Structure 1
């Protein structure tokens, strides 16, 4: 099926690795134009240097701190100058704070809430005039299943993720009259750099495959493994596509079946 993404322009934040990189790569393969940002410009350019592109697909990259509203506005301005507009935004910049309630400082709470909420607000606000000009505008916020079933070891991150899920619903309602669709993709355990780092820091004698399979069993993932960044990118592209024109205000879980909530 042709997703209708060719010659459309999409902003992807946090695009130097993991889900952001996989999403930017998949969009370029579909013939879309991509404006990608990350804090480290050299790492971003190196990550995207060898990515295959369909004929005509254009790429614009820039360093950008999504917590700096002026920097985000400058990034969007540069992207629209280079690529002609914005049809969709993928808000992917983020991280997890592994800390229980008693071990989380007030500053860490504020940092988590700032990153999860303001990174999205800054980017959507800057792109909004261009999204309103598109004939099929869409926003996809990369979130986590933690937003629906918090974990005590990720106290601040769980709460911040829930705030983002709530905000995404508000954005969907607020911008529906403009035809702008806003949806969330909520992740379970995905094989990204964060989990690889935790594996290396664990000092485990197990191989990565054994360690990650044991982790999946411990977390009760029915499919018995971690997901891949590419397995996240495909649902993101579907939600960005004009083919999903009647889907807004919802969330899609990509977590191998892990869901204790009803």
Structure 2
């Protein structure tokens, strides 16, 4: 990011869930640079410790870390209450925590859908409902941001569990915006497309995991298809501050969203053609049942000696920027993250 911008509302309180790495960490840093007192929630204490050190090096200021699993409603309620009490109120909240599972729906199984709904949708719901009473009391007028995805605007093959959960976030954001209309609270729902956050190392992969990891990490790192994560974080924070109702990030995501709204059946058929090019773990023409195997995390697949040659070549071609982002934004376990000031 560029030089610190202190023109924002210094002294106001902000909370970001999933704030220990990737987009959440970058949004927290942006809010610190804007002058907010920031609290970040995440499940992993070690990640939070690294995030605090990263933010201090980056901005000269530290967020308040809180270990919290957003799937646990009482824990979220307590974390939001304690944040508001410590900061003397709560003015801006961004619900960002999520998971990514990449696999054909049949091989992912129902557990992947439950996991996605639990973290992405229920985590967002818990955060929003816990935060709204405090945001209503904000002298500056509370601002609530919900991070959805272009996958919540149209289904993405091999990311169906993720798409279902993000679609629920979209509906929640629109519904809360309607129900808070006329009040001092604004609700902004953000739908990013592909971003270079390094999330491929934290995602889980099933079916043929090495091949799934290859295409996902490559496409999410290609400059023409994906967006720089720091630009994305700045745009999200700006949209929430300016009380925008909806933000769709990346030209590709906006085009896909528009096309789906106008000609949904055509977009669905086109996505079906894309799906035929993705790795399948079974021969559909033979009527074989999909084999379910444990999901594997991207960290475990990074070197993947068992990956086919085409998969390794695809990763080399498209994933360099994303791999650098993983190390830079606390997604990688290969040493401490680095600041890109």
TM-score by length of 1: 0.83
Q: How far apart are the structure 1 equivalents of 2:202 and 2:68?
A: 24
What pairs with 1:47-66 in structure 2 (closer than 5 Å)?
47-52=51-56, 59-66=63-70
2:142 maps to which residue? Answer: 137
In the alignment, does 2:264 pair up with 1:260?
no
Q: How far apart are the structure 1 equivalents of 2:63 and 2:237?
A: 17
Q: How far apart are the structure 1 equivalents of 2:114 and 2:10?
A: 39
Q: Cα distance, 1:173 vs. partner?
A: 0.8
Distance 1:43 1:197, change over 3 A: closer
TM-score by length of 2: 0.65
Distance 1:78 1:110, change over 3 A: same
1:117 maps to which residue? Answer: 121
What pairs with 1:1-262 in structure 2 (closer than 5 Å)?
4-52=8-56, 59-134=63-138, 135-196=140-201, 202=210, 215=219, 224-241=224-241, 244-245=242-243, 247-248=244-245, 250=246, 252-258=247-253, 259-262=255-258
Q: Cα distance, 1:49 vs. partner?
A: 1.6
- Cα contact 2:6–2:35 (8 A) shared by 1: no
Q: How far apart are the structure 1 equivalents of 2:125 and 2:48?
A: 22
Q: Which has the larger radius of gyration?
A: 2
Q: What is the total number of aligned residue pairs between the two structures? A: 246
Q: Cα distance, 1:113 vs. partner?
A: 1.8
Q: Aligned with 2:248: secondary structure?
A: strand
Q: Cα distance, 1:260 vs. partner?
A: 2.2
RMSD (Å) for aligned C-alpha atoms = 2.9
Structure 1 stretches lacking a partner, 5+ long: none
- Cα contact 1:89–1:139 (8 A) shared by 2: yes
Q: Structure 1 residues 103-112 or 145-154, which shifts more? A: 103-112
Structure 2 stretches lacking a partner, 5+ long: 204-208, 259-341
- Cα contact 1:25–1:48 (8 A) shared by 2: no
Q: How far apart are the structure 2 equivalents of 1:2 and 1:50?
A: 19
* CA offset digits 1:13-63 (Å, max 9, x no partner): 0011000000001110111110111001231122122424878x6632110
